[in-house]
Homo-oligomer: A and B are copies of this chain.
Amino acid sequence: VSVQASIPDKTVERLILYRSLLKHTAEKGTRSLFSHQIADLVGGTAAQVRRDLMAVGYTGNPREGYKIEDLVACIDKMLNAPEGFTMALVGVGNLGRAILNHFAGLSGQTKVLAAFDIDSNKVGRVICGCRCHHISEIKQVLTGYTVNLGVITVPVTEAQTVADRLVEAGVRGLVNFTPVPVKVPSSVYMEHMELATVFEKVAFFSRH
Q: Residues of A at under 8 Å CB distance from B?
A: 9, 12-13, 16-17, 20-21, 41-43, 79-81, 85, 87, 94-95, 97-99, 101-103, 106, 110, 148-149, 151, 171-175, 179-181, 183, 188-189, 191, 193, 195-207
Q: Are B175's CB and A199's CB within 8 A?
A: yes
- Please, which residues of chain B bring their CB within 8 A of the CB of A106? 196
Measured between beta carbons, the chain B residues less than 8 angstroms from A13 are 197-198, 201
Assess whether A201 is in contact with B9, with CB atoms less than 8 Å apart.
yes
Task: State the Cβ distance, A36 to closest chain B Cβ, in Å.
Answer: 15
Q: Are A97 and B94 in contact (CB under 8 A)?
A: yes
Partner of A205, one of B12, B43, B102, B179: B12
Q: Can you tell how many copies of this chain the complex includes?
A: 2
Chain B neighbourhood of A199, CB < 8 A: 85, 87, 110, 149, 151, 175
Interface centre among A183, A189, A199, A203 (most CB of B within 10 A): A203
30 contacts between A and B (CB under 8 A): A9-B201, A16-B197, A17-B181, A17-B197, A21-B180, A41-B181, A42-B181, A43-B181, A79-B200, A80-B204, A81-B200, A85-B199, A85-B203, A94-B98, A95-B99, A102-B196, A148-B206, A149-B199, A149-B203, A151-B199, A172-B207, A173-B202, A173-B206, A173-B207, A175-B198, A188-B206, A189-B202, A189-B206, A191-B202, A193-B198
Q: Once the chains bind, are A183 and B43 in contact (CB under 8 Å)?
A: yes
- 8 closest cross-chain pairs (CB), A and B: A173-B206, A85-B203, A98-B98, A148-B203, A94-B98, A189-B205, A173-B202, A43-B181
Task: Tell me if A206 and B172 are in contact (CB < 8 A).
Answer: yes
Chain B residues, CB < 8 A from A173: 202-203, 205-207
Nearest-CB residue, chain B, relative to A95: B98
Cβ contact within 8 Å between A149 and B206:
yes
Residues of B within 8 A of A21 (CB): 180
Taken together as a complex, chains A and B put the C-alpha atoms of A125 and B149 apart, in Å, by 37
In contact, A200 and B98 (Cβ under 8 angstroms): no
Q: Name which residue of chain B comes closest to A104, CB basis.
A: B94
